[in-house]
Amino acid sequence: MTTYYHSASVLLRPGSVIEPGNYGRMLGTYRNDNGPNGWKLATEFALDARRAREFSALPSRLSCCFAYLDVASALATRDRLGGLANILYEVELADDDASSHIGDFDLISRCYIPRPDLAFLQTIEDVGTMYWGGKPGGTRELLTNSGLRVVRQVNWGTPSGSAA
């Protein structure tokens, strides 16, 4: 069975299943006093609108699970995820038949930073085309409508993924 890597803020036991949709649920809790999250929320909704128009068979970022293909990719994104996603797990798909997509994490994370020199909607359209329809060229992330079953917790500091 193929395994992936998922970062989370909660302690989970092997066999636990991380259900899809937590990221979208968390976006729905954002308030105006949470800092620059309005930009992130607008980005995600615009990207999902792009997906729904032209790539509707692919899982929505708002209702899926996320995982990395390897520990090195998880390590590459650790600082950009913030301190909350501080526990790394090796996981497997709970449903091998669920729709999945591999996107470029680096494309998405660049959209979260306001750029006054770029038109927001055009930028999102361009990124959406590359993210949903292109071949990922940066840090690859798996989006899946499957839950993720925890295999084990791993140590962030070891690219080999040895047990914590």
102-121 tens-digit pLDDT = 999 888 877 766 667 767 78
> How many structural domains are present in the chain?
1
Q: Looking at the domain assignment, is residue 163 inside a domain?
A: no
Token couple for 50: 């792009």
Q: Looking at the domain assignment, is residue 54 inside a domain?
A: yes
> Which residues are registered as beta bridge partners of 4?
91
Domain of residue 18, CATH code: 3.20.170
Question: Mean per-residue pLDDT for 41-58?
Answer: 92
Q: Looking at the domain assignment, is residue 160 inside a domain?
A: no
Q: Looking at the domain assignment, is residue 73 inside a domain?
A: yes
Token couple for 68: 């990395």
116-145 tens-digit pLDDT = 776 778 888 888 889 999 877 888 999 999
Residue predicted with more confidence, 14 or 26:
14
Q: Which pLDDT belongs to residue 163?
A: 46
Q: Looking at the domain assignment, is residue 74 inside a domain?
A: yes
Side by side, the strands of the sheet bearing 65-68 are 17-18, 148-154, 87-93, 4-8, 65-68, 140-144, 100-104
Q: Which domain holds residue 23?
A: 4-154
Q: Looking at the domain assignment, is residue 159 inside a domain?
A: no
Q: pLDDT band for position 92 (50/70/90)?
A: very high
Q: Looking at the domain assignment, is residue 162 inside a domain?
A: no
Q: Looking at the domain assignment, is residue 121 inside a domain?
A: yes
How many CB atoms are closer than 10 A to CB 60?
21
